[in-house]
Amino acid sequence: MSLPSDFTWGFATAAYQVEGATEQDGRGPSIWDTFCAIPGKIADKTDGSVACDSYNRTAEDIALLKSLGAKCYRFSLSWCRIIPLGGRNDPINQAGIDHYVKFVDDLLAADIVPFITLLHWDVPDALDKRYGGLLNRKEFPLDFENYARLVFKSIPKCKNWITFNEPFCSSVLGYSTGYFAPGHTSDRKKSAVGDSSREPWIVGHNLLVAHGRAVKVYREEFKPKDKGQIGITLNGDYAYPWDPEDPEDVEAANRKIEFAISWFADPVYFGKYPDSMRKQLGDRLPEFTPEEEALVKGSNDFYGMNHYTADYVKHGTGTPAPEDFLGNLTTHSTDKHGNCIGPETQSFWLRPNPEGFRLLINWLSKRYGYPDIYVTENGTSIKGENDLSPEDILNDQFRVDYFRTYVHAMAKAVSEDGCKVKGYMAWSLMDNFEWAEGYETRFGCTYVDYKNGQKRTAKASGKELKKIFDEVLEKN
């Protein structure tokens, strides 16, 4: 069980979750600023206006990364810091560009390789108000292409690019359940706008086309001289059949992964949506025009993989509801015999199951021709962590065990199964704003004391990660 000596590992964050400084140096509002201001949307009534104050603490964050032994750092840019109103004809905010240029320079000076995500859910609010944001098939991809070109031109020293983080979440949580910004849903108790049966599929399609446009720009205008790589990051759980002897449960488990991951990966690798989705959704799932298919097919230099957990899956019966986005099935924490997928965490959707990580790496590798994979997020919350004393929070043995078992499972996928995993980024470098859960849920390898000036202190997990990788990395 080993990983090659050139394997890269580090940590990940996202702009809205850590930066704060939402009104500093010309930044415009994002859809998350607007969403957080709506009563009842965030569990603890907070927002990202201060978060971890990372915008003002880049030197501190780099020193932290260095102290933990990180080889790389995945972070996202705030589009509305760079183009506050978002559009291709809107003014550029040079202060925003300068901030990220310096940050990349400083990371490289510290021998930490930057992985930049162009958009991690925080769409400029002005675009949402102007033309419906992600719902606009024509305007959004063009505005994203313009933003991407500006960033590629401004930061040539970055060699690792990710267009979008988890388009599934933007589409489903933003436009079906209404759990995330901008909060669209058919449930009129939650939102005055939204069509859960159609909008998520439209948004997913537009994100794929926008991704394809940005990749085309990078490959044609920047890659020849910058020598970088570009991809998209997709999230998904592994799915076990609830009853492995029931062919319908076996089929449903596979379909669960198709509806979550292949929704985006199949168009990127094959130029079409999965047959299972087309069968259930019909004309609610958009068709690619020939131009769109040409943009999207083949638009990955690597596969960005976000992964946390697994489920047992039971097939559904009858006609699925119009708002169903799972694939006519139900998910369960126990199987037919009462076996539990893994222990509870603070996150209702997350139970550790490291074997599922190895199995999903294999599933993806076989389906997509053994691409280079970068695990761009992997980590866990801990049940009740936020209620503990700071001393007990720092001793996060549950998280240490999670990382060790997951990293070992990944190493087996590489050394024993022949999968090509090139890098791993733990979620997250530090405790931060956990979207709709506010600051009640912690995922950090570093404790952030929000009540005392966002002071950072490495937890056991942050300190142990280097040791964990030292155990499995081949020595030169």
Mean pLDDT of 280-292: 98
Marked catalytic residue, from 145, 258, 377, 437: 377
**Number of Cα atoms under 13 Å in the Cβ half of residue 397:** 2
Counting residues of the chain whose pLDDT is more than 90, the rounded percentage is: 99
Amino acid letter for position 89: N
Q: Does residue 3 form part of some domain?
A: no
- The CA angle 385-52-456, to the nearest 5 degrees, is 65
Question: Using 50, 70 and 90 to split pLDDT, how confident is the model at 117?
Answer: very high
Average pLDDT over residues 395-423: 98
Number of domains in the chain: 1
Helices (H) and strands (E) in the chain, counts: 18, 13
* pLDDT at 336 > cutoff 80: yes
Residue 365 lies inside a defined structural domain of this protein: yes
Active-site choice (19, 166, 258, 292): 166
Q: What is the pLDDT of residues 370-404, one digit of tens each?
A: 999 999 999 999 999 999 999 999 999 999 999 99
**CA quadruple 332, 336, 341, 345: dihedral positive or negative?**
positive
Residues 153-187 have pLDDT tens digits of 999 999 999 999 999 999 999 999 999 999 999 99
With a CB cutoff of 8 Å and minimum separation 6, the contacts of 149 are 214, 217, 221
Q: Which phi and psi (to 5°) does residue 403 adopt?
A: -60, -45
**CA 368 from centroid of its chain's CA atoms:** 19
Looking at residue 19, the DSSP 8-state letter turns out to be: -
Burial (CB count within 10 angstroms: exposed 0-12, middle 13-18, buried 19+), residue 60: middle
CATH number of the domain that 463 lies in?
A: 3.20.20.80
- pLDDT-based confidence at residue 475 (cuts at 50, 70, 90): confident
The answer to whether residue 23 is domain-embedded is: yes
Rounded (10°) angle between helices 199-217 and 167-175: 150
Amino acid 152: pLDDT: 99
Instruction: Say how far apart CA 288 and CA 397 lie, in whole Å.
Output: 47
**Residue 379 corresponds to which tokens in the numbers above?**
């980590």
Residue 240 lies in a domain: yes
- Banded model confidence at residue 1, pLDDT cuts 50, 70, 90: confident
Active site includes 377? yes
- pLDDT on residue 380: 99
Residue 203 lies in a domain: yes
Query: Does 4 have pLDDT greater than 80?
Result: yes
Q: Are 450 and 439 in contact (CB under 8 A)?
A: yes
Is 257 contained in some domain? yes
The distance of Cα 166 from the centroid of its chain, to the nearest Å, equals 4
φ and ψ at residue 73, rounded to 5 degrees: -145, 120
Per-residue confidence band for 476, with pLDDT thresholds at 50, 70 and 90 = confident
Q: Is the pLDDT of residue 81 over 90?
A: yes
2 falls within a domain: no
E strand or H helix at 100: helix 94-109
In a domain, 1, yes or no: no
Q: How far apart are CA 281 and CA 277, in angstroms?
A: 6
- Using one digit for the tens of pLDDT, what is the confidence trace for 35-53? 999 999 999 999 999 999 9
Average pLDDT value for residue range 124-138:
98
Which residues span the domain enclosing 54? 8-472
